[in-house]
Structure 1
């Protein structure tokens, strides 16, 4: 008399196993379907940068790093874009932005080729401080005109906020001495091979030995604003600028940048 009951119980177990298998099969098919659906890739924004630590620099692995690079990654991601930072020497970066080979630059908007070829943000992203460094005992400098009659160290490719034209003008009385490496420029200054060095606070302090930076004196000549600067070669320049500025403001309110 117990045999029919066992068959009923066995039938329930079989039906349960069949239902479980069907559920697992449905889940597997659903997962495969999701994998077959193409994922919409974020559009890429190519940003040019120059070696300007701690704001922009290339690390030992060849990766773009720096405070402005990290901020740019957050802003572009919030705006729905993927950032592609590419290193350029200053003059090539300026030309590439003007010609539309790169989309974005974050920095000064005073480069000559940018005048009619780019759009600058209303948002001030950051600031940098231009200083005149010198040995103790040299006359302090508060204005560019006071450098007349002096040998002044300046960096290849720098515009100094538009001052480079005046510095190179023979009528200014300034004798520019072009340098490439900050440690070399600092040694030239301490050995009296130049009288003054025009450099920005962040890069100078991050690349020159602290014993030298502690010994030298300086005056701040100017503080420059850094902006989002977009190539006008993009058809959506104004829309993109609005997206970047909105993303920047959101992240600023959230304390993320």
Structure 2
């Protein structure tokens, strides 16, 4: 067989495989603004320890991460319809249970706290919130139990929404709300940016972080299994994969 013909045949056979591999390698990863785990930096680029870990696991499994930021409701909608393939987030959300698969490995934990001022006595949750103002972050969602007492008309809880953790802390200190319901890690980061001392708080919930896969993503079970194996390979190699 002439050498030129052989090279041409190899090229023709290789091109479809290369295109298929390129299609496989791009995995659409959704996130919402939750510093320091996931956020869009000053240059408009995805950043944060959670996104770095996700990209590392995808790379180990032979994929390439393609990140996009969403508001919380749109992120969940994307996981339901398959337009978002992977999310590194809180495990066990009831509204996602039927529509998603979860990775086997625990990546970290996030803690939801109720913060209050130093001159405020520790509240009994949720009864001492009755008739009071609670500061919340716009776009964040909470477990059904928390939503029930926030939305219960009998409790007459006034919700004060704001877009950032720093403004939420400032609102609390300026008495524009009685309590702040927020997650510990982004609050700690915002507090340090403001040069603010620690605030007292009551722990409301502790939530596990895992890889969440849309069931409607192509080869969802295979993708989950490959990323589980990637985690195990990196862990065996001695890499620290825990999200602090």
Question: Counterparts of 1:58 and 1:180 in 2: how far apart (Å)?
Answer: 14
The size of the alignment, in residue pairs, is 225
Matched, 1:136 2:118: yes
CA positional deviation for 1:142:
5.6
Equivalent of 1:233 in 198, 216, 231: 216
How high is the TM-score relative to the length of structure 1?
Answer: 0.79
Return closer, same or farther for 1:174/1:235 CA change in 2, 3 Å cut-off. same
Unaligned runs of 5+ in 2: 1-6
* Structure 2 match to 1:19: none
* Structure 1 match to 2:181: 198
- What pairs with 1:99-248 in structure 2 (closer than 5 Å)? 99-111=81-93, 113-141=95-123, 143-162=125-144, 163-209=146-192, 213-214=196-197, 216-248=199-231
> In 1, are the aligned partners of 2:191 and 2:197 still within 8 Å (CA)?
no
Unaligned runs of 5+ in 1: 1-29
* Structure 2 match to 1:52: 34
Q: Deviations over 1:129-171 (max 9, x none)?
A: 1111111121213633432232111122222233224312213
> In 2, are the aligned partners of 1:142 and 1:221 still within 8 Å (CA)?
no
Question: Counterparts of 2:126 and 2:45 in 1: how far apart (Å)?
Answer: 37
Matched, 1:96 2:86: no
Instruction: For CA contacts below 8 A with separation 6 or more, give which structure has more relative contact order.
Output: 2
Q: Deviations over 1:197-239 (max 9, x none)?
A: 0111111122234566415322222211111111111242222
> In 2, are the aligned partners of 1:111 and 1:159 still within 8 Å (CA)?
no
- What pairs with 1:47-86 in structure 2 (closer than 5 Å)? 47-86=29-68
Q: Which has the larger radius of gyration?
A: 1
Local SS of the residue matching 1:122: coil
Q: Deviations over 1:30-79 (max 9, x none)?
A: 9xx99x96554352110100011000011122211100001001101111
Question: Counterparts of 2:228 and 2:46 in 1: how far apart (Å)?
Answer: 22
CA positional deviation for 1:81:
0.9
How high is the TM-score relative to the length of structure 2?
Answer: 0.83
Question: Counterparts of 1:133 and 1:61 in 2: how far apart (Å)?
Answer: 31
Question: Counterparts of 2:110 and 2:197 in 1: how far apart (Å)?
Answer: 20
Question: Counterparts of 1:254 and 1:143 in 2: how far apart (Å)?
Answer: 44
Return closer, same or farther for 1:224/1:213 CA change in 2, 3 Å cut-off. farther
Question: Counterparts of 2:128 and 2:29 in 1: how far apart (Å)?
Answer: 37
